[in-house]
Amino acid sequence: MKHNCNFLKLKRYIDITNKNIKMKIIVNPKNYTNYEYSQYLNRGKVVEAPENPTYVVGQVVVIPDESSDDKNKFVLAVVLGCIDEEFDGELRTDMHGMVCMDKMRPAVVTDFGKSNISYRDDLYKECQGWEVTRNWETMEYTAIDPNF
């Protein structure tokens, strides 16, 4: 399956320490959970987002596929919350709950379409600019074509 890499959901974040521009794929986290998670926690207390976080709520990340015995299988997940980043923290994801930051990496556009990385169609569509919403009563997604 060939994928169009016309991704609209790329956001620029400037890494001040290295003076590099880093691109992050950001989606609406409300489409991937119906719970009201605290977005950022530090030692169990709700805090504001850090000034230069490694990961942000709504960011798409690559994590190991825990449902597979193959260690080379991965899944794209959405960050729902960041916990204690400064203490080798964890992220709450929509696919595998809590995951240590050292077991993941930021997703890039070319991850879509790789044979060893799985992802949901609704996530792919939202990253391409489709307006995606989820009805939590029926558990169904609605995707409206962006009509470029």
Residue 122's domain spans which residues?
Answer: 10-144
Give the H/E segment covering residue 125. Answer: helix 121-127
**CA 128 to mean position of chain CA atoms:** 14
pLDDT of amino acid 1: 37
How many domains does the structure of the chain reveal?
1
Residue 1 lies in a domain: no
List, in order, residues 6 or more apart from 20 with CB less than 8 Å away. 14
Query: Looking at the domain assignment, is residue 5 inside a domain?
Result: no
Q: Around 141, how many Cα atoms within 13 Å sit in the side-chain half-sphere? A: 17
Question: Quick check: is 4 in a domain?
Answer: no
The structure tokens listed for 62 are: 């690559």
The per-residue pLDDT for 61 is 93
pLDDT tens digits, the chain, 148 residues: what are they? 334 444 444 454 444 444 444 578 888 888 888 777 777 777 778 878 777 778 888 999 999 988 888 889 999 999 988 776 665 578 888 878 888 888 889 998 888 889 999 988 888 888 877 777 777 688 776 767 766 5
Question: Torsion angle, CA of 131/135/136/138, rounded to 10 degrees?
Answer: -140
The reported pLDDT for the residue numbered 20 is: 47
Task: Please tell me the distance from the alpha carbon of residue 44 to that of residue 41, in angstroms, as a whole number.
Answer: 5
- pTM of the full structure: 0.74
